[in-house]
A and B are shown apart, each in its own frame.
Chain A
């Protein structure tokens, strides 16, 4: 129910005083209200929940965290605890 999905803003329009965006989720485009993310620009990724963008994805944070997580995956592999190891332990 609290599901929010990341999508890329393809285009921003003003609709009767409401700032809306055409947001791409993979191959699917949907309209989303951008009133809660006034800082959002075309090309940004936003988290969309029931037709409203509730945050702009922080690219730097995402990249930094992901690099850290990735290194743990590599570490796990080096320690021999990949998919095989996980099942047998």
Chain B
């Protein structure tokens, strides 16, 4: 496929890797934020290709992983209501709540359905007016415009049986929290290319200036990521701390204005809990008060559902880049993708799941 296959070219990848190894005078510590990028790095063995020239640590950018436990519990509670059809992206179904997951609730007869797009959920609400259709709206800035559009569409259609369970998170507040930590080791960031496609690069320039840290907007194929790593290493070797865009075929400086407008109309910024990490101020989105009729938490009175996370899981350390998945004593034994203890083992984009799939040979279980 055009704009995809050519960015998997082995010759180019090896050329870039050679250039990175040549330029790097010490093992720079770099973090990719997005779980999709983590997956590519592991799948194509980019960490191994770079040897000791760069240490890659993996950030908190998997929305499935960071959706707080209590939000999963709320989705589970909704899915058990006889009048509710709980609609979700497929990868949320196996995420463990305090007691169970959506997959098991579905098996027990709960009406849980998987869709590719939030507009499919709106369509479902339109066809089945007797059902309360709740869409589990998780995601980063990339997905927020689509969710905003679903609400606007439902409003236009006059639907009173459609609502969102919103668990939206924002990337820059999480980067800020990482950089403010006294334990931070990260010297450069690969910014998530599709998040930046929507929001642009302005906020990342503020971070680069404030913390004197280089940030390169990166794509999702091996060549994209190697190019982003190369630009970061060049900046670090030259003592620069700027924002560069290695994913210019999709990312414009100001982002996508039409998508931003839809988000601004429907959502507002709020404090948000991240699973494994805790609450980060102004790190999430919620529906504005004028869209309260589409807010499942209010419609079904779920605000009081709270939950404590299991203590054995070290996901906070992994999501903040302090530890690697294999440092966890439960990795691959008490915690596997089939029976995950914590969120990063759940989603295929979670760091623990990526290591479990591609790097298990390195651990003696």
Is the pair B15, A36 in contact by a Cβ cutoff of 8 Å? no
Q: From A7, which residue of chain B is reached at the shortest CB distance?
A: B1
Q: Which of A6, A72, A85 has the most CB of B within 10 A?
A: A72
* The one of B36, B149, B192, B197 that contacts A33, using a Cβ cutoff of 8 Å: B149
- Contact yes or no, A81 B227, CB < 8 A: no
Q: In the complex, which residues of chain A have a beta carbon less than 8 angstroms from the beta carbon of B1?
A: 5-7, 25-26
Interface size class of A (residues with CB under 8 A): 35 or more
User: Could you tell me which A residues sit within 8 Å of B by CB distance?
Assistant: 1-8, 17-18, 25-26, 33, 35-38, 45, 47, 49-52, 54-55, 57-58, 61-62, 65-66, 69-70, 72-77, 79, 81-83, 85-86, 89
CB distance from B48 to the nearest CB of A (A): 9
Per the bound structure, the CA–CA distance linking A38 and B256 in Å amounts to 11
For B, the interface residue count at a CB cutoff of 8 angstroms equals 63
Known: A52-B145, A55-B197, A55-B250. A2 touches B139 (CB 8 A): yes
B140, A1: Cβ atoms under 8 Å?
Answer: yes
Check B62–A50 contact: CB distance below 8 A. Answer: no
Contact A57 B146 (CB under 8 A): no
Bound Cα distance A54, B48 (Å):
33
Known: A54-B194, A58-B248, A61-B248. A2 touches B36 (CB 8 A): yes
> With contacts A25-B1, A73-B12, A83-B11 known, what are 15 further pairs, Cβ within 8 A?
A2-B35, A2-B139, A4-B194, A33-B119, A49-B142, A52-B146, A54-B250, A70-B9, A73-B9, A73-B16, A76-B19, A77-B14, A82-B11, A83-B14, A85-B14
